[in-house]
Structure 1
């Protein structure tokens, strides 16, 4: 995904990057969609972008909330991502809600029935986190 960001920053098409790097367009498409790249492909891309291989292997996951691009996102998306800087934070919240819901459901079923009331709420929270992650991915927030 960082390859796509670097390519777009230089305003290159995939075809231009293919010519400059000597990598096929299909390989570039696979790398940009999140598939692993070979060491040779990483070396070629690092040379073209004048960076190191480690930089290419990292994912850009931090939201820069000071840009005009961020301000152009829908208000409801920006509102729901208040306090969230990284995709991994939202994934953590989602997983926490799922585990908590399962725990409450199990405890409520076998021990304390009052815990059963929390399970549906936590499952709904997990679903909303999943939905928000999907929408943020669609709007290319990360």
Structure 2
């Protein structure tokens, strides 16, 4: 949410750091989804003139009727078939990664582990692509 608010104002991370009195590294950590202290959230809420609860919201739902969604390439839309949110896609990425790692040690078929690890990579890549295109 912090990145979305910053992007709406066309501020750089450096500008936000100066306005909020926080370090650039703190801004980067918050934008990457790491937890933030109450003081950090208060500073950011003050700069953006929003409630602290607004900063802790996660925009995850995919509006598949929106123009931004329809303008995405077919392979991206296909990768989210049946997936209602970014959070579910991230869970699928983690599941594929864990199954792939587990398959390294227990699978008799040597193609299973690489297939799941490749699926985890592709799933993670599509989430990052969606982040960059502001799909959610």
Choose 1 or 2 for highest CA Rg: 1
Pairing of 1:59-138 with structure 2 (within 5 A): 59-93=58-92, 95=95, 124=115, 127-128=118-119, 130-138=121-129
The Cα shift of 1:125 comes to 6.1
CA distance in 2, matches of 1:13, 1:93: 32
What do you get for the CA RMSD once the two structures are aligned? 3.3
C-alpha distance after superposition, 1:88-135 (max 9, x if no partner): 323445538x67xx7xxx8xx9xxxxxx99xx7798467525522322
C-alpha distance after superposition, 1:28-87 (max 9, x if no partner): 122212222221110011112222222212322222334333233221111221221212
CA distance in 2, matches of 1:91, 1:24: 28
Which TM-score applies when normalising by structure 1? 0.66
Residue 23 and residue 77 in structure 1: after superposition, are their counterparts in 2 closer, same or farther (change >3 A)?
same
Which TM-score applies when normalising by structure 2? 0.68
Structure 1 residue runs of 5 or longer lacking an equivalent are 110-115
Equivalent residues, number:
131
Residue 56 and residue 93 in structure 1: after superposition, are their counterparts in 2 closer, same or farther (change >3 A)?
same
Q: What is the aligned partner in structure 1 of residue 13 from structure 2?
A: 14
Asked if 2 retains the 8 angstrom alpha-carbon contact of 1:65 and 1:71, the reply is yes
C-alpha distance after superposition, 1:4-26 (max 9, x if no partner): 01111222222222232222223
CA distance in 1, matches of 2:89, 2:57: 18
- Are positions 1:23 and 2:22 aligned together? yes
Structure 2 residue runs of 5 or longer lacking an equivalent are none
Q: Secondary structure at the match of 1:82?
A: coil
